[in-house]
Amino acid sequence: MSTATVSLVLRGIAGPSPATRERVLGAAARLGYRPDRAASLLASKRSRLIGVVVDVRNPFHTELIEDVDESAQRSGYNLVLSAVTRAQDETRAIETLLDSRCAALVLLGSKLPAPRLTALAQQLPIVVVGRPVSSAGVDVVRTDDNDGLDQGVAHLSGLGHRHITYLDGGQGEVRDLRRRAYQKAMRMHHLDENIRIVAGGETEGAGGRAAADILQLVPTATAVLTFNDRCAMGLIDALVRSGVKIPQSLSVVGYDDSTVARLGHINLTTISQNSPRLMDQAVTALIERLDNTRPEQRSVVVLPHLIIRGTTGPPTTQRNAAGAGEA
Q: What angle do CA 199, 197, 315 make, to 5 degrees?
A: 120
Helix (H) or strand (E) holding 176: helix 173-188
DSSP three-state, residue 245: coil
CB 40 within 8 A of CB 51: no
Model confidence at 38: pLDDT above 70: no
**pLDDT at res. 322:** 36
Torsion of CA 181, 183, 186, 188, to 10 degrees: -70
CB 282 within 8 A of CB 106: yes
Percent of the chain with pLDDT over 70: 92
How many C-alpha atoms does 94 have within 13 Å on its Cβ side? 22
**Cα–Cα distance for residue pair 302/289, rounded to 1 Å:** 20
Q: What is the pLDDT of residues 69-123, one digit of tens each?
A: 999 999 999 999 999 999 999 999 999 999 999 999 999 989 999 999 999 999 9
Q: What helix, strand, coil percent values describe the chain, rounded to 5?
A: 45, 15, 40
Torsion of CA 6, 12, 18, 19, to 10 degrees: 20
Q: In what order do the strands lie in the sheet containing 49-55?
A: 78-84, 49-55, 104-108, 126-129, 139-143, 299-302
Which of these, 323, 139, 153, lies nearest to 255 by C-alpha position? 153
Residue 89 to residues 39, 53, 68, 205, 313, Cα–Cα distance (Å): 29, 10, 22, 21, 41
- Domain 145-268 part of CATH 2.10.77.10: no
Split at pLDDT 50, 70, 90, the class of 2 is confident
Is it true that 43-143+274-302 and 145-268 share their CATH fold? yes
Model confidence at 42: pLDDT above 60: no
Residue 4: CB atoms within 10 A of its CB come to: 10
**Cα–Cα distance for residue pair 289/124, rounded to 1 Å:** 9
For the chain, list the strands marked E by DSSP: 49-55, 78-84, 104-108, 126-129, 139-143, 164-167, 196-198, 223-226, 251-256, 269-272, 299-302, 305-307
Q: Three-state SS across 79-136?
A: EEEEEECCCCCHHHHHHHHHHCCCCEEEEECCCCCHHHHHHHHCCCCEEEECCCCCCC
User: What are the sequence ranges of the domains in the chain?
Assistant: 3-35, 43-143+274-302, 145-268
**pLDDT at res. 185:** 98
**Cα–Cα distance for residue pair 50/52, rounded to 1 Å:** 7
Q: Which residue has the higher pLDDT, 27 or 33?
A: 27
**Cα–Cα distance for residue pair 237/246, rounded to 1 Å:** 10
- Domain 43-143+274-302 part of CATH 3.40.50.2300: yes
Which of these, 2, 5, 26, lies nearest to 16 by C-alpha position? 5
How far, in whole angstroms, is CA 222 from its chain's centroid?
28
β-pair type (251-256, 269-272): parallel
Q: What is the pLDDT of residues 208-246, one digit of tens each?
A: 999 999 988 777 899 999 999 999 999 999 999 999 999
**pLDDT at res. 317:** 55
Q: What is the pLDDT of residues 241-277, one digit of tens each?
A: 999 999 999 999 999 999 989 998 999 999 999 999 9
Counting beta carbons within 10 angstroms of the beta carbon of residue 261, is it exposed (0 to 12), middle (13 to 18) or buried (19 or more)?
Answer: buried
Q: What is the pLDDT of residues 169-180, one digit of tens each?
A: 999 889 999 999
